[in-house]
Structure formats: C-alpha cells, structure tokens
Structure 1
C-alpha cells in the first residue's frame, strides 16, 4: 500500500526543490560557488583562484562548466535540487534501516523536505546540498544492517561519505569527528576495527582537500580557515551589527531557522522520547550526531539558515526510527501543521512574486546572455571584473579570477598585504584602483551589490562604478534593468 508514496518521494522532493531553484532570489553566496565551477576550466582552487571552503565541490561539478553557454547558473541550481532530493530518499532508507516503520520513515523524510533550511539547500547554487547528501549516505550505511556489505566495509564507506562531506564544507568535521569518537568508545570489545575502517574511509574522503593544501598551503589556510574566523565578523562590525555576533542572538536565530519547518518540534519530541523511554536502536550514534550538528551550527558567526542543515539528517532519521504513537494529541498535530506552513512560507511567497515579476534565475540567464553578446560585439579581449560573477558564469563573458569570490574578499579591510593579495590572486577595495589602472579590464559589471550599508556607502559596487565612470567606460543597461555593463572605450 505504501509503495506508491515511497516511489513518489524522490520526484516529489526534486520538484519542490526545483521550484525553489526557479523562484528563490539570487543569493550573494552563490557567486563563489558558481564562479569556482566555471574557473575549473582553466585552473585549480587556491592555486589559480581563491576559494573559501574545502574544495571537493568544484571538482565534482567541474563537468557542468561545459554546458551550453549561459546556462551554468541554472544547471547548478537544478543539480543541487536533485542532490538534495537524493538526501531526502537516503533519510527515508536510513530511518527504515534503523528499524522505523514505512509510514513513520516516510513521514520523517517528507517533513525534512518541508524544512525551509532544506528547501534553501536544494534551491540555491551553494555548497549545502552535497555535504548533507554525503551525511545522509554515511548514516544510512551505518544503521542499515540489511545492506549486503560487511560491517567493516560499511564503516569504511561511511567514513568515506563523511570525509567527502568535510571536503565539501569544513563545518562537517564536527559530526565526522564526534562519530569517530563514538565508534572508538563503542568498539572497545572488537579492538575498534569499525572505528579504524571508518577513519581509513574518512582519510580517503579528504584526499582532495589534502592535495590542494599541498599545492597552495598559504591560499588554502586563508580560504578554508582564516577568512571565516575574521572577515565575516569584521564586516558585521563595520556595518554596526555587533549584536549579530552575540551568543543569545545566535541561539535565537538558530531556533527561528529550525522552527521554519518541523525540525524544532521534532527535536523536542526526540528529546522527550529519549528521556522518557530510554534508548532506541542506533540511538547513541544518532543522538551524538544531533549534538554535533548543533555544535557545528553554533560555530560560524553570524548565523544563517544553512548552518542548521547538519542537524537535520540524524534528527529525522532518529524520529523516523521511533515506534509507537508520538503526535496523538490534537495540539501536537496543530503544531506540526503550523511549522510545516512556516517551512513553506518563504517558498510560497517567492512563488507568488515570481508569477508577478518573473523568475530571478531565468532573468539572470537572460542578462548573462546579453552581457556576453555585447562584450563579444565590442571585440575587446580579456576578462570582466564584477562582484556578481554568477550572473554571467558559463557564458561568453570570462570571469576575472581575482574577483571569483564575489563580494566576500573585496569587502575585507586590512586583512592582506599587497604581496599576499598578489600571491593569492585577490583584489580588495584597498587596492582596487591600482589593480584596475595597471591592467584596465575590457568590461565591468555592476548592479548585484548596490545596497548601501554603513560599511559600504553606495553599495560594494560603488568603487567599481566610480572607477569605470572616471575612466570613460561606456555604460549599458541589462534587459532586466538590474545590471550595468561598462565597456572600455577605444
């Protein structure tokens, strides 16, 4: 009876995330991930252009850099939609493997898909969908004893999955490390063979990270570690937002992100079940993974919705494996209904806005085609400078690798010396005039970073715009009206 709903789980989740990919506004974080995939055609992260995460994602997605001109951005969004849908299916399989009934496992997977943070992961071209897929895969390999794989083999593959998650996003090192500690503690009787197999798999999973560390240690250490410890906090202080770095604010924001969907309510139910009824099967590892996810969510400052995602797979697998009634009371059912509505609210409102004004991602595709055609018609060779490279990545307009990370490195102040900027292929606001004057670019694209803030009066695009105007670049407006193309005059 339940085969049909289960068979619809993957396509239904993909359709939801694909809808989000079409309607969600462009996120400034997408700039670095889309540009990095495009630049894989010419070089490597850290060695040839800066990157602000561990580097597995651009390697895995590099083939998409050769899709039809102008469609890279949309292709990466839809790829994340498919990967996130795969994570939903893996959570269902893991909940079944942990002893959950088909109905409860299906409910858990469906509720995960309706969390706003998960919809965000599947709807934008960031680095959230791949690591959550690998985390869900690792959990499934550990809890499903029915898999026709030897125990140590499953532990090795689970370690490989968690190692791959770490190689996509550094914050997953917390759940990966906590799980290793749990396996060490529980494996004392069999001489920790499972923990050793898991560690070997994890080591294999971080090989791409170690290779890039060996190739460009200075750039790697800055991009993967130092930047996140200093630069985001500096930007908030420059914009009079010090309160966003305080612990109470972080806790409140994370709770708000969890309540946009049933995650916070499910967390409360799992805790109640844990202390009321004791351990369930696989409870220890899953409980510690939930704790590790909470720690990983609180580490980055300031906090955003994507940081709660590591909590979600173990939480919903744990929920899906529970036997017996949970939400029999009417008030609990109403609570689930309210949180599900909150989870879908943003996607629903953006869908209405898209019906009125057009799809943000499709408008970006049109603008990207227009930008490439006009630069191509001008006959000017070279690479374009922009803080929004995702808007034309994969088209005729090539990205200047020094601006591949969009606004994130450009907005820094005093965190690099001129020599370090040159070695790491970076241009900041402090040295923009010198960098552009020494080699004037054929084109400058502005408009994606126009919002004025105390730290950037007139927007981060203002220095680029002013330099282009001072140097007599010819300005043209994109079809959407959002972007300005400045062409160097002959």
Structure 2
C-alpha cells in the first residue's frame, strides 16, 4: 500500500531563505490567484489552433440544448461539452476566449491540487512548492491549459482525486472515497486517456481495502451512468465518436501522407522524449526510475502504478502529441516531491532540473514574443468575428454556417452547421462511414461533400497554415461551392472569406421547368 515514509526530511534542502519566508507568509489562495492570472494571460497570447475547433463548437451547440452524438457529432467522451455548454451560452460572442480562460483556471487548480497533495503527504512547503512549480513550467501543461481543448478539465479532476487519495491516508471516509471515484470517472468521461489511470486505481482499491472500493465504485457510477445515458440516445454515433474515430482516423490521415514516419515506433518514442524534455518531466522520470533501484525508496507503489498507467495511455495513441502526457504529470511530480522530502537534490541535480525547466518555457516565451510583436491572437480573432457578423447582418444571413473553423463562429453571432461541428477532423477522413451513417451521425466528409450539402453561408480562411490547418481542405469546400451561384463577400484586413451561396442549380432548374 502507499505509505508515508517515517524517514526524517533531509535538512540539507536549501531553497533560499527569502523565498522560503515568502512562501510561509503568503497564503495559498494568493499564489493560486497569481498563478491563474499568469496562465490566463498566456492563454490569450497563444496562437489560434485548429485543434480547438470541435471543442468550442461542441460547447456552443450543447449550450443551445443539443446533445453530443444524438444531435451533433463529437469525437471524444462527452462530459466537457455538457459542463461547458451553459458557460458558452452565457459567454455568447466571447465563448472562444472565455473557454480558454476557463481552461487556464482549471490548469491553476491542477497545480494547486498537486501542491496540496504533496503537503498532505508530509512534504515541506518549500519542497512542495518546488515540485509544483516544475509541474507548472512544463510545456505539456502550458500548452494543454492554454487552448480551448479538452485537456485542462480532466487534468484538474485527476489532480483533485490524487489530492484526496493522499490526504485520506489510512482513515479515508466513505464521502472521500465517493468523491475520488466521482473525480476519476469524470476525468475519463471528459477524455478517454484518463480511463487507464482511473482503472489502475480501481484495481488498487481491490488490493488495498482501506481505499474503500465500494464507495469509490459508487462515486464512479455517476459519470458512468451519464455517459451510458448519452450513449443510449445514439449508440452507433457514440461508439464511432468515442472509440472508432480516435483509433482509426489519425492513422488513416498520417499513413497516407508525407508524415507517415510519425506513426513509426521509433519516431513516437522520439516525440515522447522531446515533449518530456520541454520541462522537468524527463529528469523527474529519470530520478524516479533511478530511485526504484533502492528498496528503501519503494514507499509509493500506488503513485508508481498511476505513473505507469498514465505513460501507457500516452504511448497507445498514434501519432504522439504532447497533451497525451498530461495524465502522467500529477502523480509524477507528486512522487518527485516525496522523494525530495526524504533526500534533497544535490546541486548538480538542481542545475539539471533548472535547465530543463527553462527549456519548457521556450515555446510559451516564443508565443509571448509573437503576441507582443503582432498583437494578441485572440483580440484579432474577435475583431475578425465582428467584421463577419456585421457583413452577414447587412446581408440578412442568419442561418447556420459551414466552416472547418467553427471555433471562430461565436464571435460572429452564428452557430455552426452541425455537419461541420468536428472542424477539419472528420472532414479529412476517407471511408470511415457510409453515406447513410454520415447522415445519421450528422457528419460530412470532403470526399462526399456535394454542393447541395452546403448552407447559404460558408466561412473560409480559418483552416489555414496560420492556425496549424490544411488550406487544401478549404480549397475543396470552395470548389464544391462553386457549383452553385456564389458571391464572395469582401472582408478587407482579415484572413477570412465569406461565401454566400444561391440555391443549388438543379433545384433552380426544376423550379423553372414547372408549368406556370
């Protein structure tokens, strides 16, 4: 079982008396507020990313009372749009930046939870602060909590559960066990990659009954019941969105292109190494693996199990991206804090961690520099959205909009056409569904897109290189749209184009052939 070692803390740990005194004097809530402000500011400076498309669209559509799978396609497990839907409706035209700010807040909560978990495990203030700061400075966390994706919510839920697990000790109450099960299952309901560490903990409760497996299962039953209820509304669409597409679509997309090398095991391991090296993740892993050689250090078997399960969840998807490593970080840096509680890092080890910590800040500093030079990306996105809204209002065009960048639509005051709610990700696939299944699942692929599938308004320009997208996909939409009467509306000073489409030619021909 996980126990707190009785070895006395190594008093050689030196963190600087000035900082130590500041940590003791400043309350935790003040540090949390400061951390939230910093992460929120950084989220506004991060470039627009097409990865955000389906998450913003899903929140907006859920805010309108629609359900994932039944009413629109969603390519993840469903908790986030259900929770964020009311917020997106409240934020209205500011939904996109607002969702980024919410994720920044959740990222700050995750860091605070890791700190509190370390303190609950007997780690001194300065050591807990150091480990939490290293966690906060990883590029993995800064990226995952700086975008309107589905990374920050499950991370905060997982970190909160970890705090309760450590704080419970040997006298865990039924209420705490219910909360742990609820948080872990909710994390998996927001992102499937958290299912492995959640299952690992569930198995551990069967081994160590002091964790109260019945009450943990009772708490987990609530998110599980919610997911099953949604799945029952549209079982085939749920199975495709939550499991089939995440497993098959990335491999299909990369295997057929110039970046097929990203699917090879060697390159995936290289990616894992690269992302781990942008911050203290890699040296923390090295320290923990090295300490496993010493039998006296094996006091955190549960944390090591959670780290292993999280690493496995990061390795399984193809290709590998930095956000897949997020589940690893809370147990990893908590374990590091507990190691340093017993044995302070030597000067050389501290220098290595400082070097990697600086490396983790480089991508964010580059984004900060670009924002200072070129202006805030989010401010520009809102300004362009206002221009589109004014143009569409002048044309009395108020219906849904077809676009591969639905995250840009809230600022225009328009809803996405539900068939385009997944942004470019299903659109670029080939043959994953039949034509009939696409209709039932509210989807359309580029290979099957017909002029008659498009609504009156089409927004182009958001799925481009400046947002990490593929402009060839938008060129396909424009070619299909050209089969109908098209007016291109001028948007000077923006990166966007608006197409106003007339009725399909075939429909016009049928009407003109009717006898008067």
**TM bracket (short chain):** over 0.9
Cα separation, 1, equivalents of 2:100 and 2:68: 20
Cα separation, 2, equivalents of 1:484 and 1:200: 51
Q: Deviations over 1:119-159 (max 9, x none)?
A: 11211000000001010111111111389x85332222111
Please state if 1:124 is matched with 2:142: no
Q: 1:100 Cα deviation (Å)?
A: 0.9
Cα separation, 1, equivalents of 2:47 and 2:384: 15
Contact 1:371 1:397 in 2 (8 A): no
- Go from structure 1 to structure 2 and tell me whether the alpha carbon gap of 1:418 and 1:332 turns closer, same or farther (over 3 Å shift): same
- Equivalent of residue 201 in structure 2, options 161, 168, 179: 179
Contact 2:406 2:416 in 1 (8 A): yes
Q: CA RMSD in A?
A: 2.1
Q: 1:101 Cα deviation (Å)?
A: 1.0
For the pair shown, the structure with the greater C-alpha radius of gyration is: 2
- Equivalent of residue 141 in structure 1, options 164, 167, 172: 164
Secondary structure, counterpart of 2:212 in structure 1: helix
Secondary structure, counterpart of 2:410 in structure 1: coil
Structure 2 spans left out of the alignment, 5+ residues: 1-20, 504-516
Cα separation, 1, equivalents of 2:283 and 2:447: 47
Task: Name the TM-score, length of structure 2 as normaliser.
Answer: 0.88
Cα separation, 2, equivalents of 1:373 and 1:308: 42
Q: Give the structure 1 partner of residue 235 of structure 2.
A: 217
Q: Give the structure 2 partner of residue 270 of structure 1.
A: 288
Secondary structure, counterpart of 1:316 in structure 2: helix
Q: Give the structure 1 partner of residue 180 of structure 2.
A: 158
Please state if 1:488 is matched with 2:501: yes
Task: Name the TM-score, length of structure 1 as normaliser.
Answer: 0.93
Q: Give the structure 2 partner of residue 370 of structure 1.
A: 387
- Equivalent of residue 419 in structure 2, options 402, 409, 412: 402
Q: Deviations over 1:185-242 (max 9, x none)?
A: 222xx6xx71222122112222221111111100000000000111111000221322
- Equivalent of residue 134 in structure 2, options 102, 107, 111: 111
> Which structure 2 residues correspond to residues 30-49 of structure 1 after superposition, within 5 A?
30-40=52-62, 41-49=64-72
Please state if 1:204 is matched with 2:222: yes
Please state if 1:11 is matched with 2:49: no
Please state if 1:285 is matched with 2:302: yes
Matched residues, number: 477
Cα separation, 1, equivalents of 2:123 and 2:76: 36
Q: Give the structure 2 partner of residue 299 of structure 1.
A: 316
Contact 2:57 2:407 in 1 (8 A): yes
Q: Give the structure 2 partner of residue 319 of structure 1.
A: 336
- Go from structure 1 to structure 2 and tell me whether the alpha carbon gap of 1:380 and 1:404 turns closer, same or farther (over 3 Å shift): same
Q: 1:296 Cα deviation (Å)?
A: 0.6
Contact 1:18 1:122 in 2 (8 A): no
Cα separation, 1, equivalents of 2:478 and 2:141: 36
Which shows bigger deviation, 64-73 or 335-344? Answer: 64-73
Structure 1 spans left out of the alignment, 5+ residues: none
> Which structure 2 residues correspond to residues 338-417 of structure 1 after superposition, within 5 A?
338-393=355-410, 395-417=412-434
Contact 2:44 2:377 in 1 (8 A): yes
Which shows bigger deviation, 209-218 or 389-398? Answer: 389-398
Please state if 1:461 is matched with 2:465: no
Secondary structure, counterpart of 2:499 in structure 1: strand
- Equivalent of residue 90 in structure 2, options 63, 67, 85: 67
